[in-house]
Amino acid sequence: MPLPPRVPELGALDLLLSVAKLGSLGKAAREHGISQPAAASRVRNMERLIGVPLIVRSATGSQLTDEGSVIADWAGRVVDAAAELDAGISALRNQQASRIQLACSMTIAEYLLPGWLAELRRRLPGATIGLQVVNSAEVAELVLSGKVDLGFVEGARPPEGLDAYPVARDQLLLVVPHDHAWARRAEPVNAAELAATPLISREPGSGTRYVLDHELERLGYHSRPAPIMELSSTTAIKAAVEAGIGPAVLSSLALAEDVAQGKLVVVPTQGLDLRRVLRLVLRSGEQLPPVLRDVVAATGAGAGARRDRPGPGAARPLRP
User: Among the ranges 74-88, 147-161, 186-200, which has the highest mean pLDDT value?
Assistant: 186-200
Residue limits of CATH 3.40.190.290 in the chain: 105-299
Q: pLDDT at residue 131 above 60?
A: yes
Predicted confidence at residue 295, as pLDDT, reads 83
**Least confident among 89-93, 120-124, 184-188, 265-269:** 89-93
150-190: per-residue pLDDT in tens? 999 987 677 889 988 888 899 999 999 999 999 998 899 99
Mean pLDDT of the region 122-144: 89
Mean pLDDT of the region 281-295: 82
Predicted confidence at residue 128, as pLDDT, reads 84
Predicted confidence at residue 285, as pLDDT, reads 84
11-56: per-residue pLDDT in tens? 999 999 999 999 999 999 999 999 999 999 999 999 999 999 999 9
Residue limits of CATH 1.10.10.10 in the chain: 10-95
Q: pLDDT at residue 302 above 50?
A: no
Q: pLDDT at residue 58 above 70?
A: yes
Fold observed for domain 10-95: Arc Repressor Mutant, subunit A (1.10.10)
Q: pLDDT at residue 260 above 70?
A: yes
Q: What is the mean pLDDT of the chain?
A: 86
Predicted confidence at residue 60, as pLDDT, reads 82
Q: How confident is the model at residue 5 (pLDDT cuts 50, 70, 90)?
A: confident
More confident: 128 or 214: 214
Q: pLDDT at residue 88 above 60?
A: yes
Q: pLDDT at residue 318 above 50?
A: no
**Rounded percentage of the chain residues whose pLDDT exceeds 70:** 90
Q: What is the C-alpha to C-alpha distance for residues 34 and 225, in angstroms, rounded to an integer?
A: 75
Phi, psi of 45 (to 5 degrees): -60, -40
What is the CATH architecture assignment of 105-299?
Answer: 3-Layer(aba) Sandwich (3.40)
Q: pLDDT at residue 96 above 70?
A: no
